Amino acid sequence: MPLEVVLLFAWTLVIVFLAFLACHFEDNESDIGSQSNPNSQVQLAPQVGQVHRFFNKAISGEPLSNALYQGTAGMIAWMLLYKLEPLVPDAKWKAAVVAIPLAVGASALIHMIFATTAHCGRIAAQKRFEQPIYLDVFYGHLIPIATHGFLTTFSIVSIAYIQSNLGALAGDPRLNHPFALPLLAFIWGITVGSIGSSTGDVHYGTEREFQDRPFGEGKRVIYHGRITRYADCGIRTSKDISPFCAKFGSPATGLTFGLIILLENWRTLIGMKLGGYLPVLPANLPLVPTVHFATAEGNMAAVWGIILGLIIIAAWIVGNMIFVKWIRAKCGPFVGA
């Protein structure tokens, strides 16, 4: 099959869609477990006398914990593919269909193990604040955490699989990404986590965690630790966070990661097209990439990619300025006590 440029772009769009799903569920999963930055308030709450029924999933910052789930899943998927692909040499996708879900399932188990150690350890270390371990909170959150984590990990490992086979899927295996599947899964795990923690947490931390405070103000230092512990009916657990954040915070986070993947991959692909590197690859391009290989078209492709990237950067700066000006004019100065 000759190289089909349109297939390259199509697979990139599939990757973008998966990225959107991945970051959406990543944010929701971290909200259910109350992970990352807003967790500081859940951790602080018993110290200011606010015993709560939240899940305290302090695995680490989201980038590293997601790198853990996705790196583990990528590693197990790689092991399974290593064994299964020789069995079906004509249709390697069959191996992937079996390997990726199994690997992601195993990684979800590991996710649950880490979640339990974090929750029990942190609550046990708060003995003097009279914070008990509620077993229903403990058991009841594990499955939601694992399922949301499963969806994130599944999307990321699929992205890694597609990218490490992108060339083969589009017709020429020489265009595969030079990194192996587990490494790509690890890389996107770090990225998805840092996006989920820097954008998605805002909706949970500023709004949902302090919902009985006025809307439209940053949360003052005196509020810290005094989190909202009552739900619409009864006492709030971390599961009640998810439906709220799924309406705005999580999709916006998903959009962030989707945009990043879209801009990065399209920039490179369009650069390759403008530079003349696609659709006819140089005949002497080795199957295993070597760094010393280069052509004039390749350099031009890199130049075009950088130029497009600089245009995008300038556009974001202008866009942010316009947005900040507009939202300030819309909302006006701070009113209230």
Partner 1 sequence: MAAAEEKKAEEKKVEEKPKVEFKFPPNETQLGIIAGIIAALITIFTGLPAVIKAVGMIFAFVWCADSVRKTSKYGLGTGVPSIGVMGTGYGVVGALMGLAFARFGNIGQFYPGVLVGVVFMGLIGLVSGFFSNSEKYIALKIPRLERAMMELGMAGTLALLLEISIVTGSLNFDAVVTRVMETGVIAFMFILSGMAMFHPYNACLGPDERRERTLMVPVEISGLLCIILGFALLILGTSPWGPWDPALLIVFGVVIWVVFYTRFIKTCMKECYATVGTGLIKTIE
Partner 2 sequence: MTIEPELIWIVVYVTIGGMLGCLGAHLLPVGGAPAAMGTATGIATGTVQIMLGAVVTGLFTAATVSSFSNNIWLVSLAGAVGATIMIQVVMFMANVLYAFGCGVVPVSGRVAVDPITKAPQTAYKTPQTDGHGVPDVVFISGTVGGFMGGFGGALMYFALLFYANFMYGTAVIAALSIFVANAILAAYNIRGTTEGYWDPKFKKMPKALIGSFCVSVLAGIVVMLATIALGGGA
Residues that bind partner 1 in the complex, under the rule CB under 8 A: 43, 50-53, 58-61, 64, 67-68, 71-72, 74-76, 78-79, 82-83, 110, 113-114, 116-118, 120-136, 179-187, 189, 229, 235
- Residue 112 CB, nearest distance to partner 1 (Å)? 11
Work out what residue 53 binds among partner 2, partner 1, none; the CB cut-off runs from 5 to 8 Å by kind.
partner 1
- How many residues make up the chain in this entry? 337
Work out what residue 71 binds among partner 2, partner 1, none; the CB cut-off runs from 5 to 8 Å by kind.
partner 1
Is residue 109 part of the contact set for partner 2 (CB under 8 A)?
no
Q: Which of 2, 130, 136, 218 is the binder for partner 2 (CB under 8 A)?
A: 218
- Residue 120 CB, nearest distance to partner 2 (Å)? 22
Work out what residue 213 binds among partner 1, partner 2, none; the CB cut-off runs from 5 to 8 Å by kind.
none
Peptide bond before residue 132 is cis, with ω within 30 degrees of 0: no
Residues whose CB falls within 8 Å of the CB of residue 148, separated by 6 or more in sequence, listed in order: 25, 26, 28, 29, 32, 242
Is residue 4 part of the contact set for partner 2 (CB under 8 A)?
no
* Residue 30 to residue 204: CA distance in whole angstroms: 10
- Residue 117 CB, nearest distance to partner 2 (Å)? 21
Is residue 48 part of the contact set for partner 2 (CB under 8 A)?
no
Work out what residue 149 binds among partner 2, partner 1, none; the CB cut-off runs from 5 to 8 Å by kind.
none
| Contact (Cβ atoms closer than 8 angstroms) between residue 116 and residue 122 | no
Question: Could you tell me the two tokens for 171?
Answer: 């017709």
* Residue 327 to residue 184: CA distance in whole angstroms: 38
- The stretch near partner 2 (CB under 8 A) out of 81-89, 121-129, 130-138, 292-300 is 292-300
What is the greatest pairwise CA distance in the chain?
71
Is residue 187 part of the contact set for partner 2 (CB under 8 A)?
yes
Residues whose CB falls within 8 Å of the CB of residue 59, separated by 6 or more in sequence, listed in order: 33, 35, 65, 68, 114, 115, 118
Subset of 235-254 contacting partner 2 (CB under 8 A): 248-249, 252-253
Q: Which of 4, 9, 17, 40 is the binder for partner 2 (CB under 8 A)?
A: 40
Work out what residue 260 binds among partner 2, partner 1, none; the CB cut-off runs from 5 to 8 Å by kind.
partner 2
DSSP calls for 289-329: --TT---HHHHHHHHHHHHHHHHHHHHHHHHHHHHHHHHHH
Work out what residue 215 binds among partner 2, partner 1, none; the CB cut-off runs from 5 to 8 Å by kind.
partner 2
Subset of 124-183 contacting partner 2 (CB under 8 A): 177-180, 183
| Contact (Cβ atoms closer than 8 angstroms) between residue 25 and residue 156 | no
Q: Is 235 helix (H, G, I), strand (E, B) or coil?
A: strand
Compute CA distances 240 → 25, 51, 115, 123, 144, whole Å.
15, 17, 18, 20, 11
Work out what residue 185 binds among partner 2, partner 1, none; the CB cut-off runs from 5 to 8 Å by kind.
partner 1
- Residue 197 CB, nearest distance to partner 1 (Å)? 11
Q: Smaller CB distance to partner 2: residue 57 or 142?
A: 57
